[in-house]
Protein backbone atom coordinates (compact mmCIF):
# COMPACT_ATOMS: atom_id res chain seq x y z
CA UNK A 1 0.00 0.00 0.00
CA UNK A 2 1.29 3.44 -0.90
CA UNK A 3 2.27 5.78 1.88
CA UNK A 4 -0.03 8.67 2.62
CA UNK A 5 1.29 11.84 1.06
CA UNK A 6 2.29 14.54 3.51
CA UNK A 7 0.27 17.14 1.63
CA UNK A 8 -2.91 15.04 1.77
CA UNK A 9 -5.19 15.55 4.74
CA UNK A 10 -6.60 12.52 6.60
CA UNK A 11 -10.08 13.72 5.66
CA UNK A 12 -9.28 13.59 1.94
CA UNK A 13 -7.62 10.20 2.38
CA UNK A 14 -10.66 8.78 4.14
CA UNK A 15 -13.01 10.26 1.56
CA UNK A 16 -10.98 8.83 -1.32
CA UNK A 17 -10.94 5.38 0.30
CA UNK A 18 -14.71 5.56 0.82
CA UNK A 19 -15.25 6.53 -2.83
CA UNK A 20 -12.90 3.80 -4.03
CA UNK A 21 -14.80 1.22 -1.97
CA UNK A 22 -18.11 2.48 -3.33
CA UNK A 23 -16.88 2.29 -6.91
CA UNK A 24 -15.58 -1.24 -6.31
CA UNK A 25 -18.95 -2.43 -5.03
CA UNK A 26 -20.91 -0.43 -7.61
CA UNK A 27 -19.05 -0.32 -10.92
CA UNK A 28 -19.80 2.85 -12.85
CA UNK A 29 -21.21 2.12 -16.28
CA UNK A 30 -20.66 4.06 -19.51
CA UNK A 31 -17.98 6.15 -17.77
CA UNK A 32 -20.55 8.35 -16.08
pLDDT at 30: 62
Burial label, 6 (beta-carbon count in 10 A; 0-12, 13-18, 19+): exposed
Q: Which residues contact 13 (CB under 8 A, 6 or more apart)?
A: 4
For 2-26, write each residue's pLDDT tens digit: 676 677 788 898 898 888 887 777 7
Single pTM value for the model? 0.42
Start-to-end CA distance of the chain, whole Å, equals 27
- Alpha-carbon gap, residue 18 to 8, rounded angstroms: 15
Amino acid sequence: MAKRRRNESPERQALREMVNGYLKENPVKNGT
